[in-house]
Amino acid sequence: MPTKLVVDITAGTEEYVEMTAEEIAQREADSAARQIEIEAEEAAATKKAADKVSGEAKLADLGLSADEIAALVG
């Protein structure tokens, strides 16, 4: 069974204790929620990069040079 570290700073003690079923379930739920957040952040970053490439291609199709595009998008 997983354990957690319990620190009592007033007494200066540290003790590993087994986690309860509720604590384990909460940890698993938190981990799953964070994984969803990570995947959403990665998807947003991928979309942003694809949008940038698409936008630059459209500017090039309008006749702008690579230097002009770079000046516009930074």
pLDDT at 25: 97
Cα–Cα distance for residue pair 54/56, rounded to 1 Å: 5
Q: What total of structural domains would you count in the chain?
A: 1
C-alpha closest to that of 6 among 23, 25, 31, 29: 23
Long-range contacts of residues 53-58, Cβ cutoff 8 Å, at least 24 apart: none
Cα–Cα distance for residue pair 69/25, rounded to 1 Å: 51
pLDDT at 74: 81
Structural domain for 22, as ranges: 3-73
**Which whole number is the average pLDDT over 44-72?**
96
Q: What is the pLDDT of residues 3-53, one digit of tens each?
A: 999 999 999 999 999 999 999 999 999 999 999 999 999 999 999 999 999
